[in-house]
Amino acid sequence: MDGRGRRQVKRGFIGILERLDRRWIFLAMAIAVAGPIIYIGITGKTLPETATPAARAVFHAIEKLPAGSRVLLSFDFDPASGGELTPMATSLVRQCAARGHKLVFIALWPLGAQMADDAIRRVITADYPALVEGRDYVNLGYQAGNEAVMKVMLTDFVKAFPKTREGMATGAVPVLSGVTRVADFPMLITISAGYPGAKEWVQYVVSSSGGKITMVTGCTGVQTPQLYPYYPGQLAGLLGAIKGAAEYESLVNATLAKGDAPTPPKYLEAQRRMGPQLGAHILMVILIILGNIAFFAQKRERAAGGGAAGAEARP
């Protein structure tokens, strides 16, 4: 403020940065995300992905299982996290189905059962019609109780999930014949968006199973840092956020590619979503640099102003 109480309007680039309305940043972010989506949506081109060890570990853990092994898939997410988790759910179900594993879907989130139905329809019904419901896969639906359900599954799986989603008694389903407890599944796959999710599965099931269950997980970006300490000890593999999904998707696509035939678009969802990530991240890096420039410019200005004031105040 000057001596008459009027605000001094700074000119130049630093002045613009200091006065910038944050809504222009929102608009820039919308363009940074929408631009790549339109480009990739029209051209079909995706960015190349190189799998990191955590994503490769998920892929190899499923490949290493003997064909026909029983796999328990827990869909612990809802449509609010679908943008991040649906692509990895699709790829996980696809790899398991292609390997011929027997799939048992459960959900500890109310809408997880519908998400599992969606994955079954998108992958198994559409591309693996030879697989029969009940014999090769089954959806046991949602069960309320969070950790209590996990604790019950440790000793009595049928008690935790007495019915299938269709209302059939679990004990009568062929794919579950011989299953008495959760340790009868050699592999547990969780797709997790929060509580209850991958962390609780590690704490209540994997740690209590004495190493009998191999667990891999795909989780949201918010959860990933919390789960990294469990890898590679208690977690055999980890897909962190959409990046992990894209890496894993590229591995599965490369393995299941049929000659020169293009990969169906539904199996490229995660890789398509890496385009807007790139745009948004570049914008954020630019904004962080600009923010720092403005910050240091202000700091220098204050130091210069303070120094001058100090010099004037000295006798």
Partner 1 sequence: MKLSRGWIVVSLVVAALIGVRAFTGGGMGRVYVKSEAVSIDVPADAAKGTAATKVEWTAWAQVPPRVYKAAEATNPAQTEVVFSWGRTIGLWIAAFFTLAIFSFLYRDNPAYRFTEAVIVGVSAAYAMVLGFWETVVPKLLGALTPDFVKGWVLPSLSDQGPAQVVAMCFALVLGVLLLMRLSPKGGWISMWPLAFIIGVTAGLKIVSHVESDLIAQSVATFKPLVAFKTDATGAVAAWPTVWASLANILVVAGVLCCLTYFFFSVEHKGLVGKGARVGIWYLMITFGAAFGFTVMGRVALLAARVEFLFDDWLWLIDPAGKRVVETMSMLTAW
Binding-site ranges for partner 1 (CB under 8 A): 23-24, 26-27, 29-30, 33-34, 37-38, 40-42, 44, 80-84, 110, 142-144, 147-148, 151, 162-163, 167-169, 202-204, 206-208, 220-222, 224-225, 229-230, 233-234, 240-243, 265-266, 268-269, 272-273, 276-277, 280-281, 284
Comparing CB distances to partner 1, the nearer of 65 and 140 is 140
Closest CA to 18 of 5, 6, 8, 26: 8
Comparing CB distances to partner 1, the nearer of 34 and 286 is 34
The Cα–Cα gap between 108 and 82 comes to 16
Comparing CB distances to partner 1, the nearer of 207 and 255 is 207
> Least Å distance between CB 98 and partner 1?
20
Identify the sign of the CA torsion 274, 216, 94, 111. Answer: negative
> Least Å distance between CB 36 and partner 1?
8
Comparing CB distances to partner 1, the nearer of 277 and 298 is 277
Residue written as token pair 């011989």: 178
Comparing CB distances to partner 1, the nearer of 99 and 250 is 250
> Least Å distance between CB 167 and partner 1?
5
Comparing CB distances to partner 1, the nearer of 8 and 24 is 24
> Least Å distance between CB 147 and partner 1?
6
> Least Å distance between CB 268 and partner 1?
8
Residue 216 belongs to what H/E stretch? strand 214-219
Closest CA to 270 of 247, 292, 287, 253: 247
> Least Å distance between CB 7 and partner 1?
18
> Least Å distance between CB 202 and partner 1?
6
Comparing CB distances to partner 1, the nearer of 32 and 189 is 32
Comparing CB distances to partner 1, the nearer of 172 and 257 is 172
Closest CA to 183 of 159, 137, 150: 150
Q: What angle do CA 67, 217, 86 make, to 5 degrees?
A: 95
R_g over Cα of the chain? 26
Facing residues of 240 across strands? Answer: 219
Please check whether residue 211 is in contact with residue 187, taking contact to mean a CB–CB distance below 8 angstroms.
Answer: no
Closest CA to 91 of 219, 215, 224, 270: 270
Mark out the alpha helices in the chain (DSSP H runs).
12-19, 22-43, 53-64, 82-99, 112-119, 126-127, 147-155, 157-160, 198-201, 224-227, 241-256, 269-313
Closest CA to 149 of 160, 134, 165: 160
> Least Å distance between CB 1 and partner 1?
23
CA-CA distances (angstroms) from residue 48 to 6, 81, 215, 272, 285? 55, 24, 28, 10, 21
